[in-house]
Amino acid sequence: MNLLQPTYLGSIQLTNHMVMAPMTRSRADANGLVGPLTTLYYQQRASAGLIISEGLTISKQAIGMPFIPGIYTPDHIASWKNVTDAVHQAGGKIFAQLWHMGRAAHSQNKNGEIPVAPSAIAIPTQTIFTEIGQRPFETPRELINQEIKQTIQDYKQAAINAIEAGFDGVELHGGFGYLPNQFLSESSNTRTDEFGGSIENRSRFTLDVMKALIEAIGPGKVGIKLSPSIIYHGILDSDPVSLYTYLITELNKLDIAYIHLMQPMFPIDEYPQYPKDVIEGYGKIIQKPLIINAGYTRETAEEVIKAEKAQLVSFGALFLANPDLPERFHLNTELNVPDRATMYGGGDEKGYTDYPFLHQI
């Protein structure tokens, strides 16, 4: 197998093994709607085998930062329909990433509502961007059991909406310290009901959401992104290997499309309990298509695909800066360099749709 050859993800045909990783660009309007520039941005990148959209908030409660698109109103659905139509017309496939930020949010960005989480434990040391500048994270409000069930329903409805908006499937954002990750981790979940305590209980929320998503939109269309060796947003576990081994074993039993794993990204030498290579740590137990992510280049991606250690490789920053990344990989030519200053926010094409193609289209 080679990175640029066509492949299948279940029954979904992909033009190559390259995935555009989900990337928040903070360019939605105050109502969470995306416009023509977003349509163009995704259409430009439709030569990826699969695009995974930026995180889309599943409900008002899920919001945590400004200018994030939503997928919970008829207007959201209509605005994303433009994007999915454009991607399909250009021959691409696109999944919607479903996002609930939980405690990784701020009341300034939520009309004064305090963020919610499995437990009332604030993210220590880090700060969050708000409309009045960087702020420390607040202590969240603990979700009551009934609200957790409602949140699972919100995910389910968001998946139904995503399909109505023309997406080919959905991905649960289960990593990077957002809500499902907050349930998984000891450092953010001290609940004593069925959603806290044992590994089984801490995994329940993620697994219940995945089951609800499959029930909503059918088999083979639901993926999950996990970051088993990332300790960002105050996530820390004493035995992450047992936690993720259990979670992956249970995910293997479901009719899911794929498991999308992030490599560590940040130094973890101080935390020897975390695998430094998540393929080595979990590859053998994964029985679903694996999308591997974080820090991959043309060479390392080719290697991992050839060795059949993963079925697909996702690229974030490289796709952001190179709309024609597959062609550039094919020609083994130079790459545009991502501009950090324009990654998040901005009202025009700068750093969004103006990265040059090798051959202007």
Ligand X SMILES: Cc1cc2nc3c(=O)[nH]c(=O)nc-3n(C[C@H](O)[C@H](O)[C@H](O)COP(=O)(O)O)c2cc1C
Residues linked to residue 224 through DSSP beta bridges, in sequence order? 172, 259
Shortest Å, Cβ 105 to ligand X: 14
Residue 184 makes CB contacts below 8 A (sequence gap 6+) with 174, 202, 203, 205, 206, 237, 243, 247
Residues linked to residue 291 through DSSP beta bridges, in sequence order? 260, 312
Residue 171 near residue 97, CB atoms below 8 Å: yes
- 293 touches ligand X (CB under 6 A): yes
- 317 touches ligand X (CB under 6 A): yes
Shortest Å, Cβ 340 to ligand X: 8
- 23 touches ligand X (CB under 6 A): yes
Nearer to ligand X, 140 or 175 (CB): 175
Buried b (16+ CB within 10 A) or exposed e, 24-40: bbebbeeebbbeeebbb
Q: Among all residues, which ones are annotated catalytic?
A: 178
Contact region with ligand X (CB under 6 A), list: 129-137, 200-208, 231-239, 314-322 = 314-322
Binding to ligand X, residues 170-199 (CB under 6 A): 173
SS3 of residue 124 by DSSP: coil
SS3 of residue 74 by DSSP: helix
Nearer to ligand X, 124 or 295 (CB): 295
Binding to ligand X, residues 221-250 (CB under 6 A): 225
- 97 touches ligand X (CB under 6 A): yes
Element (H, E) at 307: none
- 343 touches ligand X (CB under 6 A): yes
- Within the chain, where are the H helices? 36-44, 74-89, 145-164, 179-184, 199-217, 240-252, 278-282, 298-306, 317-321, 325-331
- Distance between CA 320 and CA 41 in Å, rounded? 9
Nearer to ligand X, 191 or 226 (CB): 226
Nearer to ligand X, 26 or 73 (CB): 26
- Distance between CA 131 and CA 146 in Å, rounded? 31
Number of residues that bind ligand X (CB under 6 A): 19
- Distance between CA 233 and CA 121 in Å, rounded? 11
Letters for 49-68 (x = contact with ligand X by CB under 6 A, - = none) are: -----xx-------------
Nearer to ligand X, 191 or 224 (CB): 224
Nearer to ligand X, 191 or 274 (CB): 274
Counts of helices then strands in the chain (DSSP H, E): 10, 14
Contact region with ligand X (CB under 6 A), list: 31-39, 138-146, 245-253, 287-295 = 287-295
Shortest Å, Cβ 193 to ligand X: 28
- Distance between CA 56 and CA 65 in Å, rounded? 11
Letters for 247-286 (x = contact with ligand X by CB under 6 A, - = none) are: ---------------x------------------------
- Residues 177, 240, 316, 351: which binds ligand X (CB under 6 A)? 316
Q: Which residues bind ligand X (CB under 6 A)?
A: 21-24, 54-55, 97, 173, 225, 262, 293-296, 315-318, 343
